[in-house]
Structure 1
Amino acid sequence: MIEALRGQRESISGLCGGADCVLELYHKAPMELDVACFGLDSAGRLSDEQYFVFYNQKQSPEQAVCLSAGVATGSERFTLSLGKLPSKISKLSFAVSIDGTHTMRELEKGYVRLLSGQTEMLRFSYSGAEFSGERAIVICEIYRKGDDWRFCAVGRGFNGGLKALIESYGGSVASPTPAQPPAAPVPAGTADAPVPPACPAGGIRAGAPRRPANAAFQNVVRSLPAEVCTRMDNLARQCRGDTAYLSELYKNMFLMLARYPGAAERSVQVVMCSDISGSMFDQYRNGRMQRVVDKFFTYASTLSDAATMDFWAFAAKSRQFGAVTMDNVRDYTFAEMGGFERWMSMLNYQFNNEPEAMRDIMMIYGGLRAPVMVLFVTDGHLSADWAIEEILIKTSRFPIFWQFIGIGGSEYGILSCLNEIDGRHSNNAAFLKLEDIDDLSDQALFQELLCNLEQWLNELSCKKMLEE
């Protein structure tokens, strides 16, 4: 049996000898949980609501996906005949959600296991310790790969419940129809006027037409350079299939740009540099650092003409990895150059050396006269406060901004008192401390980053530190 890790992919036919199998989902929790399967098209959308299988619709039209109770208390089974699915269904996404005020932090234990007959072939486990305020989890996916189907362990938290999940896949949930008040008297001469149709009631609706752009969106378009709006439109169009989950992030980023249009007046190269020392292992293993990459990539690709994000990692040593792009962002921390566990081995995870990483980054980007923003992630216990202070003073004459982000750690030393560093030519650093990246809403996170960036860019312009 395979004990799968997040991001791990396995062939269904290789494990089960064909396209028939069973997925059993088990959860132990103090609240009621609902499981669901979304049958998605090649764009990652729920284009046919008949392929949304849940407690109120327990099978798909061809009985290719059937939901039933499992043997153990707290378990439910999806019996799958993948060969029966029509070609329009490219992926099955399996999720669990909460209907109420609880959060996934309260989940004691959960797993999904893949069965061939009665034999368990694969298991992917998770628990509430890996989540915070989420009310849903996308557990795993089964997707077409050529003539085969493949299993992917996802384990991604989702802030909304079932309704939000449906909407994220392009479906919609109709609001209950309110009781109608007594009809008002009809004014004379209007008895034959047409009556607008009532809104449909109940059930989910898939593929609802998009609403006209709201006032907030129009304000963004008016306040930003045309090339930024074009870039955002291109990025939004690429949020399909495996990257559909980014669409909400781009929406929030776009809205926040309206408040800080100065941050988008010129292209900014954004670089992420992330701590990969041993104390960060759980942050990577449970997918939290992947969520950080998702959010920072959204931010970076919006501001950069290249629509990519450079990525560095550091422990005792540092190195640059492949750029984060729309093609590889989905499982970057699990797949790039062998994934985070290989990074730890390559860079000597036993301790962290922030100054070396900062110097290496300066060697690459220090010669540029265009603005560079470094999103520097650490969990604290810094190796040398004095060396970091020295680097910040030296780099203050270059267009490089150091945005330090402390995640899940303590003892941040000099980062907690950056304003006390004297001798800098520009205010070139800021610090944001979080226990978890989801402690801030997406809009609040982007607002913090954009505010710091805009203030710094204004300072550089005043001091003529940028090429015109």
Structure 2
Amino acid sequence: MNHLTVGQRAPLNNLAIDDTAPITLKFTRQSPIEMDISCFALDAAGKLINDDYMVFYNQPTSPCGQIKLTHCESKPTANKGIQAEFEVNLSKLAANIDSLFFVLSADTPLNQIQSLEIGIWQQSQKAQAEYQAADFAQQQASMLMQLYRKSGVWRVSNVAQGFNGGLAAIVQHFGGDVEEGNSTAAEATVTPVQTKLSLEKVMLDKAPKLVNLAKKATISLEKRQLQQLTAKVALVLDASGSMNRQYKKGRVQEVVNRILPLAVSFDDDQALDCWAFARDPQYLGEIGLSNYDGFIDNAHGGWRKWALGPRINNEAEVMKAVTEFYQKDGLDVPIYVLFISDGGVNDNRGITRVMTEAAKLPIFWQFVGLGGRGYGILKKLDDMAGRVIDNCDFFELDDLDDISEEALYENMLEEFPMWLKEAKQLGIVTGGN
């Protein structure tokens, strides 16, 4: 049986769970207080499909019949007992259901709970997560566990994050309706933010060549409610010898063009920081609307003249350089790093060490494999244990022409919003709105 630590994520098939067959989740607790477990079916934007897709004691079956609360016991108990039991059939859920979130709630602080266990069963028990009183703070709700799709594969995340405002605030957070007069809901307040200029308008004024990219980026940003986010953006470019073809064909310049709309949207300076690396890293400076065009061929004499030492891979060294750069800069807002590599990764231990330490910082790493192979640890970082939070994601492309710009932005932003929420709840991110 697999033990899921807090923050751990894994594909269900890695846990010997067949996502085409029904799954049972059993919540066992020992508690002197009344408590409830609810399941929220969410879309790709993290919003409740509709109010009928909140499955709880008063609404035990989803409209589709594929999410069922088959047992519920909210009363206190002096001994361990089954609190709730859900049966889900992931393969029969509608395509617009992107994830299931299982939430714990009570009318009093959750740190009074003595113990809680979640077991995932399929004929036999396949996985278990365990929590003690010390794992719960003064909040009256906690987002415990998530089943979610990624690249067509169902995965599990042991989130275990407290939520201020109780169950009503979580309902509102997921876009559900709460009855007026509910005092708990009244505690959940939203701080208004100053509306930014339209990304499309900024590009039309300053970089008309990128207007179409801006339109497509805006769709993904709005879908994930990131259009008002303040963050910094970094680009890290593999410049080892095997990447020469990508530079000559203009693919790397195209990467610059495609990420710039995100930087313009997120960053007050409307620019991104750029590094290149081979054996040695080199900071290439900022890329903005005034210098993005031809940046790869012009910056520091052009890509062939960058001071990178022998053109061999050394990912760990540039990761350290990026981390130290932002530590000196103050870490006052979240940072999104797009890291391009064509593979040949060999320092798995060094990369693991850097990424484990970097998980404590407000930095999210989006790795993209471009036209290569041998990505090593980069493909496995998403499921790497030992970090306070999952701080990275990976996808690969044979060629930029193989994917539409819309799909590229969807991939680039797939896990960033989830990390952002969890990092805020852990206090790793304190700025950025």
Distance (Å, rounded) in 2 between the aligned partners of 1:225 and 1:335: 38
Q: Which has the larger radius of gyration?
A: 1
**Aligned pairs (5 A) from 1:46-57:** none
Task: Report if aligned partners of 1:380, 1:411 keep a CA contact under 8 Å in 2.
Answer: yes
Tell me how far 1:420 sits from its aligned partner: 3.0
> What stretches of structure 1 move > 6 A for 4+ residues in a row?
none
Cα shift readout 1:80-121 (whole Å, capped 9, x = no counterpart): xxxxxxxxxxxxxxxxxxxxxxxxxxxxxxxxxxxxxxxxxx
**Aligned pairs (5 A) from 1:65-104:** none
| Match for residue 283 of structure 1 among 246, 249, 253 | 246
Aligned equivalent of 2:321: 360
Tell me how far 1:235 sits from its aligned partner: 2.8
Aligned equivalent of 1:309: 272
Distance (Å, rounded) in 2 between the aligned partners of 1:388 and 1:300: 25
**Aligned pairs (5 A) from 1:232-381:** 232-239=200-207, 244-261=208-225, 263-343=226-306, 346-366=307-327, 367-381=330-344
Distance (Å, rounded) in 2 between the aligned partners of 1:420 and 1:234: 38
State the SS of the aligned residue for 2:368: strand
Distance (Å, rounded) in 2 between the aligned partners of 1:447 and 1:246: 18
State the SS of the aligned residue for 1:290: helix
Distance (Å, rounded) in 1 between the aligned partners of 2:255 and 2:415: 18
Task: Report if aligned partners of 1:311, 1:320 keep a CA contact under 8 Å in 2.
Answer: yes
Tell me how far 1:452 sits from its aligned partner: 1.7
Distance (Å, rounded) in 2 between the aligned partners of 1:230 and 1:294: 18
Tell me how far 1:394 sits from its aligned partner: 0.8
Distance (Å, rounded) in 2 between the aligned partners of 1:369 and 1:425: 19
Distance (Å, rounded) in 2 between the aligned partners of 1:419 and 1:309: 24
Aligned equivalent of 1:431: 394
Distance (Å, rounded) in 2 between the aligned partners of 1:389 and 1:310: 23
Matched, 1:398 2:356: no
Distance (Å, rounded) in 2 between the aligned partners of 1:305 and 1:465: 21
Task: Report if aligned partners of 2:278, 2:308 keep a CA contact under 8 Å in 1.
Answer: yes
Tell me how far 1:300 sits from its aligned partner: 1.8
Partner letter of residue 271 of structure 1? A
Aligned equivalent of 2:58: none
Cα shift readout 1:132-162 (whole Å, capped 9, x = no counterpart): xxxxxxxxxxxxxxxxxxxxxxxxxxxxxxx
Distance (Å, rounded) in 2 between the aligned partners of 1:331 and 1:419: 33
| Match for residue 197 of structure 2 among 229, 253, 257 | 229
Cα shift readout 1:276-302 (whole Å, capped 9, x = no counterpart): 111111110111111111101122222
Cα shift readout 1:273-332 (whole Å, capped 9, x = no counterpart): 101111111110111111111101122222211111111000010011121111111101
Cα shift readout 1:383-442 (whole Å, capped 9, x = no counterpart): 301111111111111101111111010011111122331110011010010111232211
Cα shift readout 1:369-390 (whole Å, capped 9, x = no counterpart): 3111111111001130111111
Task: Report if aligned partners of 2:263, 2:270 keep a CA contact under 8 Å in 1.
Answer: yes
Task: Report if aligned partners of 1:225, 1:264 keep a CA contact under 8 Å in 2.
Answer: no
Tell me how far 1:234 sits from its aligned partner: 2.3
Distance (Å, rounded) in 2 between the aligned partners of 1:342 and 1:276: 11
Distance (Å, rounded) in 2 between the aligned partners of 1:461 and 1:255: 24
Distance (Å, rounded) in 1 between the aligned partners of 2:426 and 2:200: 30
Task: Report if aligned partners of 1:277, 1:348 keep a CA contact under 8 Å in 2.
Answer: no
Q: Do the aligned partners of residues 326 and 419 (structure 1) sit closer, same or farther apart at CA in structure 2, a change above 3 Å counting?
A: closer
| Match for residue 409 of structure 1 among 372, 379, 387 | 372
Distance (Å, rounded) in 2 between the aligned partners of 1:280 and 1:249: 24
Identity %: 31
Unaligned ranges ≥5, structure 2 = 1-191
Q: Do the aligned partners of residues 409 and 357 (structure 1) sit closer, same or farther apart at CA in structure 2, a change above 3 Å counting?
A: same
Tell me how far 1:230 sits from its aligned partner: 4.3
Task: Report if aligned partners of 2:199, 2:261 keep a CA contact under 8 Å in 1.
Answer: no
Task: Report if aligned partners of 1:232, 1:302 keep a CA contact under 8 Å in 2.
Answer: no
Task: Report if aligned partners of 1:236, 1:250 keep a CA contact under 8 Å in 2.
Answer: no
Task: Report if aligned partners of 2:228, 2:266 keep a CA contact under 8 Å in 1.
Answer: no
State the SS of the aligned residue for 1:327: coil
Task: Report if aligned partners of 1:270, 1:310 keep a CA contact under 8 Å in 2.
Answer: yes
Partner letter of residue 350 of structure 1? R
Matched, 1:457 2:416: no
Aligned equivalent of 1:202: none
Tell me how far 1:225 sits from its aligned partner: 6.0
Task: Report if aligned partners of 1:228, 1:303 keep a CA contact under 8 Å in 2.
Answer: no
Distance (Å, rounded) in 2 between the aligned partners of 1:358 and 1:228: 31
Aligned equivalent of 2:132: none
Task: Report if aligned partners of 2:346, 2:376 keep a CA contact under 8 Å in 1.
Answer: no
Task: Report if aligned partners of 2:275, 2:284 keep a CA contact under 8 Å in 1.
Answer: yes
Cα shift readout 1:19-41 (whole Å, capped 9, x = no counterpart): xxxxxxxxxxxxxxxxxxxxxxx
Task: Report if aligned partners of 1:369, 1:398 keep a CA contact under 8 Å in 2.
Answer: no
Task: Report if aligned partners of 1:398, 1:465 keep a CA contact under 8 Å in 2.
Answer: yes
**Aligned pairs (5 A) from 1:180-195:** none
State the SS of the aligned residue for 1:273: strand
Task: Report if aligned partners of 2:218, 2:227 keep a CA contact under 8 Å in 1.
Answer: no
Task: Report if aligned partners of 1:267, 1:303 keep a CA contact under 8 Å in 2.
Answer: yes
**Aligned pairs (5 A) from 1:117-196:** none
Aligned positions, number: 238
Q: Do the aligned partners of residues 443 and 228 (structure 1) sit closer, same or farther apart at CA in structure 2, a change above 3 Å counting?
A: farther
Q: Do the aligned partners of residues 327 and 341 (structure 1) sit closer, same or farther apart at CA in structure 2, a change above 3 Å counting?
A: same
Task: Report if aligned partners of 2:200, 2:211 keep a CA contact under 8 Å in 1.
Answer: no
